[in-house]
């Protein structure tokens, strides 16, 4: 195996692991910015780190209408700040899907949310979780049918 083959193998392994990392943001507020720029307040979800709010300045591409509550993909850039510390800048990736992490992680999060309480019976919460998992492509229609038929 040559050097380039090893590099390609490592790059492929990295991409596979990176595809299972949780990295998405939820738009929590939209403000007009200067000129054609829109200011988005994003709730950042990043691989189990505490959720925090950041601001992203962006130009909205034609045909896209952002909405509060919408999940988006993002990229974080770190650049040296004036005070010597890194300053984080966030860019919304309009042409990419949010990266919720591995299917098992998404499923576990939905089940944990359903079993944590809230209005309705435990059965209703499980059905809501099953519908959410189906909508996000985590489970198949057959899995969904099996989950809703379980008593």
For the stretch 69-106, pLDDT in tens is 899 999 988 877 777 777 888 999 999 888 887 666 65
Note if the pTM is more than 0.75: no
In whole angstroms, what is the distance from residue 61 CA to residue 90 CA?
Answer: 16
In whole angstroms, what is the distance from residue 48 CA to residue 97 CA?
Answer: 19
> In this predicted structure, what is the pLDDT of residue 66?
92
Higher pLDDT, 142 or 1: 142
Query: Average pLDDT of 113-138?
Result: 65
């Amino acid at each position: 195996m040559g050097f380039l083959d090893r590099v390609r193998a490592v790059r492929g392994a990295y991409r596979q692991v990176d595809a299972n990392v949780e990295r998405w943001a939820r738009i929590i507020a939209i403000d007009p910015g200067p000129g054609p720029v829109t200011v988005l307040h994003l709730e950042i979800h990043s691989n189990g780190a505490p959720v925090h709010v950041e601001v992203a300045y962006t130009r909205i591409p034609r045909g896209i209408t952002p909405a509060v509550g919408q999940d988006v993909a993002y990229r974080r850039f770190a650049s040296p700040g004036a005070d010597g510390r890194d300053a984080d800048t966030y860019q919304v990736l309009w042409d990419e899907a949010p990266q919720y992490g591995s299917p098992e992680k998404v499923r576990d999060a939905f089940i944990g949310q359903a079993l944590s309480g809230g209005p309705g019976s435990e059965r209703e919460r499980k059905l809501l979780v099953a519908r959410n998992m189906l909508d996000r492509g985590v489970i198949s229609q057959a899995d969904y049918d099996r989950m809703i038929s379980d008593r």
